[in-house]
Amino acid sequence: MVILIAFQSASVFGMPSSQMVVFAGGIFILPFFLFSATAGQLADKFEKTFIIRWIKLAEIIFMLLAAVGFYFHQFEFLLIVLFLMGVHSSFFGPIKYSILPQLLKTEGELIAGNALIEGSTFFAILLGTITGGLLVDIHPLIASVGLILTAIIGWIACLFIPSAPPASPHLEISRNPFAPTMKILKLAFANRMITVSIFGISWFWLFGAAMLSLFPNYVRDVLHQGPQTVTTFLALFSVGIAIGSVLCSKISKDKLNLGLVGLGAIGISIFTFDLWLAGGEMDNRIYADLLLLSTFSGFFIVPLYTLMQNKSAAETRSQTIAANNILNALFMVAASIILILLLEFKISIPQIFAILAVSHLIVFLLLSAIAPVFLWDFVKWIAPRKPSP
């Protein structure tokens, strides 16, 4: 949809393409605010695998609707489908993370599971972005067939997920989707370590959303390169997070190591800051910066997700993750607002990189001030004590 809007001048509601892309993003994020709380309650009350199968079945139906929209070039209709996919994601998100502790019994397995989830998620985003662009350029109908086939494969895959019994079968589901939102936020923030992990994760999504939003203009206006370079940057960013996630699992082995959050924060800050120092010269240094900052992102994010799952009570884990999703969405919206303001004040994109780099380090220090274990584990990890003779 974004490619059709941006590069084929698809007009919706008379908006220019630049505004329409932002509007489409808002349409997709809106359901996270509306339905995440209800999704968390459902995931805690009912058997999770059963819900997953219905969600993935709905995805097939939504993709059939998308095929109709693409074929008849009905972009207003496609916005409705996009909203439905946002609803789909808001219901799938809490289950995706809350089912892992039920299926993976040891801390080492949980870390490895989160690493695979994070790595495969960003790889799928990359693959979908590139493949979707190529298929739409050939013909929207071909893209529609690809979407439907992907949805069917996802439904078949979910048939192999083991049963995950309900964590809180007596939970009463609120009919008003807005009422439980504040309840699950209070529930999540009752535990300091959960609060810290949620804000750390949400900050990462703000940082990531800002970086991905800046790539097209950075490539065009600063580096004076073409669309292929944007694709390369997306590839490096996605592959780097996948590499970092897997390395995080290997380094952690069988025990959660919160010191890796500090390592990730420092690495992200150093290589994002170097993007500012690199200026507007396109060379291998910039490729290396992007690959390394995204690799350190894997170190930053995987332990935070694992910590949130470990500290959440089994009977409310899905609701806690739903609260996380609400904050994630809020921080991504904040990223768009912050970028608009910075660009309005004529702050250059390389300067914004520097601001993000410094801000990331400040956020880690704030997290450590609230929960000193992050900084203490990092110090112990980089300077382990020698055993006494």
Q: What is the DSSP string of 161-214?
A: SPP---S-TTPPPPSSTTHHHHHHHHHHHTSHHHHHHHHHHHHHHHHHHHHHHH
Helix (H) or strand (E) holding 366: helix 349-370
Assess if residue 219 is contained within a domain: yes
- Check residue 384 and give its pLDDT: 63
Domain assignment of residue 171, yes or no:
no
Q: Report whether pLDDT(389) > 70.
A: no
Q: What is the pLDDT of residue 87?
A: 95
Within a domain: 38: yes
Judge whether 93 lies within some domain. yes
Mark residue 174 as left, alpha or beta (left: phi above 0; alpha: psi -120 to 50; beta: remaining): beta
**pLDDT confidence band for 180 (50 / 70 / 90):** confident
Query: What is the predicted pLDDT for the residue at 118?
Result: 86
Q: Specify if 173 maps to a domain.
A: no
Mean pLDDT over residues 240-260, rounded?
Answer: 88
CA–CA distance, 199 with 362 (Å, rounded to integer)? 13
Distance (Å, whole) CA 334 – CA 341? 11
Asked if the structure places residue 175 within a domain, the reply is no
Q: What is the pLDDT of residue 354?
A: 96
> Which two structure tokens, joined as six digits, stand for 263?
């390592």
pLDDT digits 0-9 by tens, 307-364: 999 899 888 899 999 999 999 999 988 988 888 888 888 899 999 999 999 999 999 9
| pLDDT, position 369 | 93
CA distance 303 to 264: 10
Arithmetic mean of pLDDT, 45-53: 94
pLDDT value at position 5? 67
Residue 9 clears pLDDT 60, i.e. is over it:
no
Instruction: Please report whether residue 267 resides in a domain.
Output: yes
**Residue 193 domain boundaries:** 2-163+182-380
- For 72-89, write each residue's pLDDT tens digit: 888 889 899 999 999 999
Query: Which CATH number covers residue 42?
Result: 1.20.1250.20
Q: Name 241's Cβ contacts closer than 8 Å, sequence gap at least 6.
A: 118, 119, 122, 294, 295, 297, 298, 301
- For the chain, what percent of residues have pLDDT higher than 90? 47
* pLDDT(387) > 60: no
Give me the pLDDT at residue 201, please: 95
Distance (Å, whole) CA 257 – CA 250: 11
Mean pLDDT to the nearest integer, 228-247: 87
Cα distances (angstroms) measured from residue 74 to each of 5, 66, 132, 302: 12, 9, 18, 40
Angle at 177 between CA 176 and CA 182, to 5 degrees: 105
Count of the separate structural domains present in the chain = 1
What local confidence, expressed as pLDDT, does residue 85 receive? 95
Residues 21, 24, 29: CA angle, nearest 5 degrees: 130
Closest CA to 116 of 250, 22, 216: 250
Helices then strands, counting H and E runs in the chain, come out as: 15, 0
Is 48 a member of any domain? yes
Distance from C-alpha of 268 to C-alpha of 253, rounded to nearest angstrom: 22
Q: Is the pLDDT of residue 148 over 90?
A: yes
